[in-house]
Amino acid sequence: MADQHTDSENVSIELLIAAGQLIRRVTREAFAGDSAATWRALSVVDQYPGITIGTFATGYGCSQPVATRLVGKLVDEALVRRQPGEDARVTHLYLTDKGHEHLANNRKSAADYLSPGFKWLSDEDIAAVRRTVEIIDRSLNNHDSNL
């Protein structure tokens, strides 16, 4: 049992290192002129439609005042819309059509940047990567109950 725990910890560390390198490289190389902060923020709102500012701050990893400023910028750019909740103190966030298009373009830019690096992979390697992504996604969704 201890070996399994160690393997789990080791693969988690390896994944964090690889994911960090991947995201840093993509944001540096694929988003010329666009903000990685915008990409991240739109991704959070896309993943959790109707999210509140406080929960957005948690999901984005910032303070509520920072989240309020960032969301205000996205609203000003017509990428996100605010919708009042039943309680007037609560506002829900949704991507606009322009926000969905912007995020889709960001994701396409990232894919266009990354895909040449995957051309050397065999069909079996591509299947293994897809399976790995599914496992990671399932694992993250199982631990995302806070949002």
Q: Tell me the sheet residues that pair with 95.
A: 80
Q: Is residue 18 part of a domain?
A: no
pLDDT (tens, 9 = 90+) of the chain, 147 residues, equals 455 668 888 888 999 999 999 988 888 887 766 678 899 999 999 999 999 999 999 999 999 999 999 999 999 999 999 999 888 888 999 999 999 999 999 999 899 998 998 899 999 999 999 999 999 988 887 765 555
Q: Give me the CATH number covering residue 84.
A: 1.10.10.10
As for how many domains the chain has, the answer is: 1
Residue 3, CB-side half-sphere exposure with 13 Å CA sphere: 0
Query: Could you tell me how far CA 9 lies from the centroid of its own chain?
Result: 23
119 phi and psi, to 5 degrees? -65, -25
The range of the structural domain enclosing residue 54 comes to: 35-142
Q: Is residue 132 part of a domain?
A: yes
